[in-house]
């Protein structure tokens, strides 16, 4: 390439002052520079650039215009020998030369240096870095590292790693694309050669691979049974026994479960590697154990044990509601609905009713035992009983006598006797107590208040006890079975017969011993209506029915 410049030179016109006559003349002197021909070179090799200029009294200055960086610029002198930079891809380096003559003329020219990338292929290297003590044994973590792999290029680096298992049994590897891979020494019935291939790629796309042979020794055992971790569960929980983590060297294996200790449980299938059972009803923490026998397809076996610690549920000493179905605002729904969660039928004692180990009988989780007049247990099917023991709360309840005549000519414990609220404690009469008129709503010559009836029953040593009393609110509420909504009475009439006729008082309200906090008069006490479950603060001078209770 060549650049030109023109400088006019004017000769003196000969006048008389110049020493005589003559003629005019002028000439143009051309200034040029040429940076030389474009070059094609390989990275990191030496090359020479030479510029020529005219007239020959000028100076040369080289500059980098564009392209990869190169040290030393600006440079002075017509000829320069340079080293091509290390490039990641084929590149164009443009250099410019400026030429300036003594008379001030300045011209320039450019030359292109086309640099070819000459990538060196990376070197793949594999080393085993774990375990520290070789040879490895069963379940040791084996680690292979490619971190010693390198790129010979001065500014190069390894960009990616790919591991591939070419031969040997299947291994569970944490990652096939990390610079290191790890796996556990597997169960082997013979020494086994594993061949790994490592492929590395550098930042210029250069690829190389290497194979690495690794021999893992046979293991002492060829079947290892795994019965799973010990478990702590609650009674009635579904417990899963899982032996699928067992290891064998064959393609298939079978399992056989056997209970070793503890209360007998019924397994869903003792010949499956995964099976289950419902934890038994227990009263104290109970430990049971199982053993699984794992057999491979060649008949070789191993066993392992698992312990299950069963804890009683914290069901408390109160009865449930008798509700065993879940509902939304309008209809019955599945109890696992996320929109209406944690209903009583899903979480309460009744939800475990099928698994409860009852002492007596009763619907759902209710557990009652019939007692005769001496507090001796009688058959659950007997129709001749005087009291009921609630096996959940431990309380003993009075069973009312059948209605055989009209008031006041009734039996002492007749179901249709009713009383005003009148209670004394250690001779002190409770505030608001009202004694009903004797022989009015009950067959008592003293008065028809609650305390007169309590005293009469205790004097009888009824069902072997003299500590009969009016129940508290919560005690009486515990008898209600709300699953019987829509029936005449919310009680199991197989255990609590002889309910008075609803029409006698127009209700089935029963007294509790608890005064309602209605201000300063304390003139009301709580009643619970056994026909619908409603409670009410009820005037103490009014009459209601009563069912006495005592502790054992």
User: What does the H/E/C string look like for 255-287?
Assistant: EEEEEEECCCCCCCCCCCCEEEEECCCCCCCEE
Specify whether 547 is located in the same domain as 405.
yes
Q: Are residues 374 and 302 in the same domain?
A: no
**What's the pLDDT score for residue 381?**
93
Structurally, the chain folds into a number of domains equal to: 4
Overall average pLDDT of the 422-438 stretch: 94
Q: Tens of pLDDT along 88-143?
A: 889 999 999 999 998 889 999 999 999 999 999 999 999 999 999 999 999 999 99
Domain boundary among 216, 235, 255: 216
Asked whether residue 259 is assigned to any structural domain, the reply reads: yes
- Greater confidence (63 vs 313) lies with 63
> 536 burial class (0-12, 13-18, 19+ CB within 10 angstroms)?
middle
Residues 495 and 455 in one domain: yes
Whole-angstrom distance, CA of residue 370 vs CA of residue 291 = 43
Whether 301 is covered by a domain: the verdict is yes
Regarding whether 106 and 158 lie in a shared domain, the answer is no
310-352 per-position pLDDT tens digit: 998 766 678 888 888 899 988 999 988 888 988 888 877 888 7
Residues 285, 310 contacting (CB under 8 angstroms):
yes
Nearest Cα to Cα of residue 527 among 510, 549, 506: 510
Q: How far apart are CA 127 and CA 329, in angstroms?
A: 68
User: pLDDT per residue over 453-505, tens digit each?
Assistant: 999 999 999 999 999 999 999 999 999 999 999 899 999 999 999 999 898 89
Residue 399 lies inside a defined structural domain of this protein:
yes
Same domain? 533 vs 388: yes
* Residue 17 counted as domain residue: yes
pLDDT at 182: 96
150-209 pLDDT, tens digit per residue, is 999 888 899 999 999 999 988 999 899 999 999 999 999 999 999 999 999 999 999 999
| Confidence at residue 26, expressed as pLDDT on a 0 to 100 scale | 36
Q: What is the mean pLDDT of residues 5-25?
A: 36
Q: What tens digit of pLDDT does each residue of 267-308 get?
A: 999 999 999 998 988 878 999 999 999 999 999 999 999 999
pTM: 0.52
In percent, how much of the chain has pLDDT > 70?
94
Distance of CA 367 to the CA centre of its chain: 38
259 and 295 share one domain: yes
In a domain, 360, yes or no: no
Question: Do 370 and 498 share a domain, yes or no?
Answer: yes
Residues 77 and 208 in one domain: no
In a domain, 121, yes or no: no
Per-chain mean pLDDT for the chain: 90
What is the spatial distance between Cα 115 and Cα 113, in angstroms, rounded to a whole number? 6
- Indicate if 254 and 204 belong to the same structural domain: no
Of 184, 216, 248, the residue at which a domain comes to its end is: 216
Residues 378 and 517 in one domain: yes
Is residue 352 domain-resident? no
Note down the domain range covering 243: 223-310
Of 204, 142, 195, nearest to 173 by C-alpha is 142
The torsion angle over the Cα atoms of residues 12, 14, 20 and 22, rounded to 10 degrees, is 110
Q: Give every CB contact of residue 406 below 8 A, 6+ residues apart in sequence.
A: none
**Residue 488 in contact with residue 499, Cβ under 8 Å?**
yes
Specify if 175 maps to a domain.
yes
| 105 & 133 share domain | no
Among candidate residues 167, 191, 216, the one where a domain is terminated: 216
Contact 144, 129 (CB under 8 A): yes
Q: How far is it, in rounded angstroms, from Cα 320 to Cα 366?
A: 7
Indicate whether 52 and 142 sit together in one domain: no
Does 520 have pLDDT greater than 80?
no
CATH of the domain at 41: 2.60.40.10
């Amino acid at each position: 390439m060549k650049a030109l410049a023109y400088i006019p030179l004017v000769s003196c016109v000969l006048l008389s002052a110049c020493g005589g006559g003559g003629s005019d003349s002028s000439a143009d002197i051309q200034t040029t520079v040429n940076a030389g021909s474009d070059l094609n070179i390989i990275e990191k090799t030496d090359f020479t650039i030479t510029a020529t200029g005219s007239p020959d009294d000028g100076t040369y200055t080289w500059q980098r215009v564009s392209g990869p960086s190169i040290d030393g610029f600006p440079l002075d002198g017509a000829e320069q020998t340079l080293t091509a930079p290390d490039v990641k891809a084929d590149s164009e380096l443009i250099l410019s030369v400026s030429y300036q003559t003594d008379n001030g003329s300045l011209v320039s020219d450019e030359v292109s240096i086309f640099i070819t990338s000459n990538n060196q292929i990376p070197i793949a290297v594999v080393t085993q870095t774990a375990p520290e003590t070789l040879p490895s044994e069963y379940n040791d973590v084996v680690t292979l590292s490619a971190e010693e792999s390198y790129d010979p290029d001065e500014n190069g680096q390894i960009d990616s790693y790919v591991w591939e298992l070419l031969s040997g049994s299947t291994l569970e590897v944490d990652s096939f694309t990390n610079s290191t891979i790890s796996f556990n020494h597997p169960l082997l019935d013979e020494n086994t050669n594993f061949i790994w291939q490592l492929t590395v790629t550098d930042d210029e796309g250069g690829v190389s691979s290497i194979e690495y042979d690794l021999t893992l020794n046979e293991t002492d055992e060829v079947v290892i049974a795994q019965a799973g971790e010990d478990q702590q569960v609650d009674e009635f929980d579904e417990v899963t026994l899982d032996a699928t983590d067992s290891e064998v060297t064959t393609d298939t294996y079978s399992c056989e479960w056997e209970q070793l200790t503890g209360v007998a449980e019924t397994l869903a299938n003792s010949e499956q590697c995964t099976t289950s059972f419902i934890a038994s009803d227990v009263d104290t923490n109970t430990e049971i154990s199982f053993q699984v026998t794992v057999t491979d397809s060649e008949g070789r076996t191993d066993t392992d044990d698992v312990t299950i610690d069963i804890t009683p549920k914290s069901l408390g000493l109160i009865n449930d509601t008798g509700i065993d179905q879940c509902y939304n605002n309008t209809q019955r729904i599945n109890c696992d609905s996320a929109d209406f969660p944690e209903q009583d039928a899903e979480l309460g004692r009744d939800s475990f009713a099928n698994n409860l180990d009852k002492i007596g009988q009763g619907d759902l989780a209710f557990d009652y035992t019939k007692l005769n007049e001496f507090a001796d247990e009688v058959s659950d099917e007997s129709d001749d009983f005087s009291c009921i023991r609630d096996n959940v709360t431990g309380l003993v309840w009075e069973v009312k006598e059948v209605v055989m005549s009209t008031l006041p000519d009734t039996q002492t414990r007749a179901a249709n006797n009713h009383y005003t609220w009148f209670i004394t404690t250690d001779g002190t009469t409770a505030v608001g107590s009202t004694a009903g008129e004797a022989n009015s709503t009950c067959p008592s010559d003293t008065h028809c208040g609650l305390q007169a009836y309590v005293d009469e029953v205790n004097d009888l040593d009824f069902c072997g006890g003299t500590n009969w009393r009016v129940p508290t609110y919560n005690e009486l509420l515990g008898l209600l079975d709300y699953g019987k909504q829509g029936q005449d009475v919310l009680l199991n009439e197989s255990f609590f017969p002889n309910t008075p006729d609803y029409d006698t008082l127009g209700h089935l309200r029963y007294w509790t011993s608890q005064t309602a906090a209605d201000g300063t008069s304390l003139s009301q006490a709580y009643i619970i209506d056994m026909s619908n479950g409603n409670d009410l603060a009820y005037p103490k001078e009014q009459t209601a029915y009563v069912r006495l209770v005592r502790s054992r």
